[in-house]
Amino acid sequence: MLFNSLEFAGFLIIVYLLYWFACRKNFRSQNNLLLLASHIFYGWWDWRFVFLLLLSTVIDYSFGLWINHTTAEKRRKFFLWLSIANNLAVLAAFKYYNFFAGSFREMMKNMGFHVSPYMLNLILPVGISFYTFHGMSYVFDIYNRKISPVRTFTDYGLFVSFFRSW
């Protein structure tokens, strides 16, 4: 679903009406609706990647809380590095693995060796770099004590996924 499609116009009208009339006096319900609508919008392209977005969101939100609530600096740094490793592993698997495996195969071929590295052949999720680095910046800012973690998962989920134009 693209922003300039009739499909999106209909979707936006439904979300707008629900936001202002069904959830009118409840800020929390409005945010829950927007989070759900954002994930539906993202899943419209390929619903399987909604789970990846949710998992990434849960993990970064959790690391942000752990870093904030931990006073021991070594432990805070450990959680930061776990968060970085998790985010970069996901990004590497989906975005860069096949590139490096193919480059390695070609390099070995040019040297006279025949190798056949396993190729993942994964579809690249729309916006994976954006929401991965968005989540990492959130965790970095908490680690550096520039911000405090948001109070609810819904608020963080909206920060990461609010109708991204991936």
Q: What is the pLDDT of residues 95-118, one digit of tens each?
A: 888 888 889 989 999 999 988 888
Please report, for the chain, how many H helices and E strands are present, in that order: 7, 0
pLDDT band at 164 (very low <50, low <70, confident <90, very high): low
Non-local (6+) Cβ contacts of 65 within 8 A are: 149
Q: Residue 107 CA to chain centroid, in angstroms?
A: 33
d(CA 154, CA 26): 14
d(CA 164, CA 126): 10
d(CA 135, CA 139): 6
pTM of the shown model: 0.83
Q: What is the longest distance spanned by two Cα atoms in the chain?
A: 70
pLDDT in tens, 74-91: 999 999 999 999 999 999
Residue 153 has pLDDT above 60, yes or no: yes
Please give the average per-residue pLDDT across 53-69, as a whole number.
Answer: 96
